């Protein structure tokens, strides 16, 4: 059985950290749209130049672009055993596109792990990072964009019965342990198969 997960939460909620830990534990790839987009910018491709303009302003890149990217990525053979999406979906149209893709692949999401951290705490965390788009005005804008465009996904996935609430304000190991509990609780809830850490 594959383990197909989405990590949801505001910028600075620790999605990247948890995605890396999950990837290690379960031997499945962590797919970060932010990383993929930044790699395009680094590579200096024409697409990268277009993407850079959005990143620099703290805007989301167009849905069609990230949907395309994820559609291709999910067909890579390393996703056979599962995947962890970090930073996708980020809008309702992206979430709907993902549902459509996964129906076609006959592999519905197992869970959406929502890392809940209050806005003031993430503001402080992001202010301590040193990425190009981590200047205060841009951070504030990214948080606004999150509240407007991404936060509605919380009720979208709640309605699907997929949402698992995780307290993201705790230290990374504690957050990791809550996620492990949530994944264990998936075992048996759908088809009786048990989840155990993968080969890696
Ligand atoms: P953070 O979680 O701190 O916002 P990310 O690396 O996830 O950092 O995202 C950085 C930027 O990449 C976003 O501000 C946005 O411009 C772009 N981005 C990432 N994922 C998406 C997505 N699914 N849709 C649109 N833009 C995205």
Say whether 199 is catalytic. Answer: no
Q: For residue 33, how far is its CA from the centre of ligand 1 (angstroms)?
A: 6
User: Reduced to 3 states, what is the DSSP secondary structure of residue 83?
Assistant: strand
Please state the pTM of the whole predicted model: 0.93
Pick from 71, 69, 65, 81: nearest CA to 25: 81
Q: For a pLDDT cut of 70, what percent of the chain falls above it?
A: 94
| Residue with CA nearest ligand 1 atom 4 | 11
Residues ≥6 apart with Cβ < 8 Å to 64? none
34 C-alpha to center of ligand 1: Å? 5
Output phi, psi for 135, to 5 deg. Answer: -80, 150
- Is the distance from CB of 108 to CB of 2 less than 8 angstroms? no
Residue of 199, 196, 200, 176 lying closest to 3 (CA atoms):
196
Least confident of 68-72, 129-133, 169-173: 129-133
């Amino acid at each position: 059985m594959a383990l197909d997960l989405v990590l949801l939460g505001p910028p600075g909620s620790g999605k990247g950290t948890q995605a890396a830990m999950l990837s290690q534990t379960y031997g499945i790839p962590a797919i970060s749209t932010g990383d993929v987009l930044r790699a395009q910018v680094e590579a200096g491709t024409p697409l990268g130049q277009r993407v850079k303009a959005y990143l620099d302003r703290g805007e989301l890149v167009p849905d069609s672009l990230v949907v395309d990217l994820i559609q291709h990525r999910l067909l890579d053979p390393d996703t056979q055993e599962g995947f962890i999406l970090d930073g996708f979906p980020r809008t309702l149209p992206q979430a709907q596109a993902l549902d459509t893709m996964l129906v076609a692949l006959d592999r519905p999401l197992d869970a959406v792990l929502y890392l809940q951290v209050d806005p003031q705490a993430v503001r402080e965390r992001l202010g301590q990072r040193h990425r190009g788009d981590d200047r205060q005005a841009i951070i504030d804008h990214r948080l606004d964009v999150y509240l407007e465009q991404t936060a509605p996904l919380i009720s979208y996935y709640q309605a699907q019965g997929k949402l698992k609430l995780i307290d993201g304000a705790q230290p990374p190991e504690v957050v990791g342990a809550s996620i492990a509990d949530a994944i264990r609780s998936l075992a048996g809830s759908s088809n009786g198969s048990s989840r155990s850490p993968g080969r890696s």
